Amino acid sequence: MADRVAAEVIAGYSTSFTLATRLLSPPVRRDVCNLYAVVRIADEIVDGAAESAGEDATGIRTLLDTYEDTVLGAADPTAPAFHTDPVLHAFAGTARRCHLDPAHLRAFFASMRADLDPGVHDDASLAEYVHGSAEVIGLMCLDIFRTHGDVTADPQWLAEGAASLGSAFQKVNFLRDIGADITVLHRHYLPTASDGTLTEHAKNALLDECVVELDAGCSRIPALPRGTRAGVAAAAALYRALVDRLRETPAADLTGADAVRVSVPTRVKTVVTLRAAGKAVLS
């Protein structure tokens, strides 16, 4: 029941994620969904759900701190494994089974906490934020993959690829959500758009970074266990499709109160996913 609840949490948020995870082997899919369910709940705490429920800034911070402590406790192999919260119960099994690194979880919550004090990022603080909000998620997914299949490639090489994919996904999301991030959440993630405007040059420079990181991550896919390759390839392909659509969208249309949020149509997602999965299976 707990695993099913975690999967339902994720299914309610992202069709792209759901499409990609369907291509993972069942044990991998279960553990990835259990991880991402915890990530989504933490996101909700800082992105408005707690505020909508009447919590002030102090209350939201307390909720996040408490949730971090609970998640770290769930991951502790010396602590009780049973939790009345089905998502935490599912996550506890995944964290222990896949030996998730508590340092990665702490880095993630540090980035979530940074969102509670929105300001203008510089290059250094942005790199730290991306590490905690995205790169460590890729690294924990890699831990899950290793648990469910034989991996003989150099661990550091694989870790660099996993972090690169996470970073690329996050940077694409920055561009997709820049309008709402600035006008609604008052967050300025991109130093090149600190004044609320985004130039074509800045947009394309960030997309160039994303392509390099996607290439780095995808170069590792053939070294992953077979039960993971199609899902990872599909996720990367969907983000490449977003990169292409962001290239075609004027930078000015991505910002402001009437900002466009670029997406990939469902039919195109299906085609992109199947094509990428087919290539990965043959790799």
Mean pLDDT confidence for 15-34: 92
Identify whether the C-beta of residue 93 lies closer than 8 Å to the C-beta of residue 81. Answer: yes
Which residues 6+ apart lie within 8 Å of 105 measured at CB?
68, 71, 72, 75, 136, 140
Instruction: Quote the domain boundaries for residue 243.
Output: 2-282
CA 240 to mean position of chain CA atoms: 15
Q: Is 196 helix (H, G, I), strand (E, B) or coil?
A: coil
Domain tally, the chain: 1
CA distances from 262 to 5, 253, 254 (A): 29, 10, 8
- In angstroms, the CA 275 to CA 266 distance is 14
How many Cβ atoms are within 10 Å of 177's Cβ, its own excluded?
18
pLDDT, position 134: 98
Element (H, E) at 231: helix 226-248
Q: Please check the confidence at residue 13 and state whether its pLDDT lies above 90.
A: no
Kindly report, residue by residue over 43-60, the tens digit of the pLDDT: 999 987 777 777 888 899
Give dist(CA 4, CA 89) in Å, integer. 11
- Contact between 126 and 178 under an 8 Å Cβ cutoff? The reply is no
> What pLDDT, on the 0 to 100 scale, is given for residue 83?
86
What is the CATH number for 140? 1.10.600.10
pLDDT of residue 49: 72
Angle at which helices 155-183 and 123-130 cross, to 10°: 110
Distance of alpha carbon 37 from alpha carbon 28, whole angstroms: 14
Residues 6 or more apart whose CB falls under 8 angstroms from that of 1 comprise 86
Average pLDDT, the chain: 93
Per-residue pLDDT of 61-120, as tens digits, reads 999 999 999 999 999 999 888 889 999 999 999 999 999 999 999 999 999 999 998 888
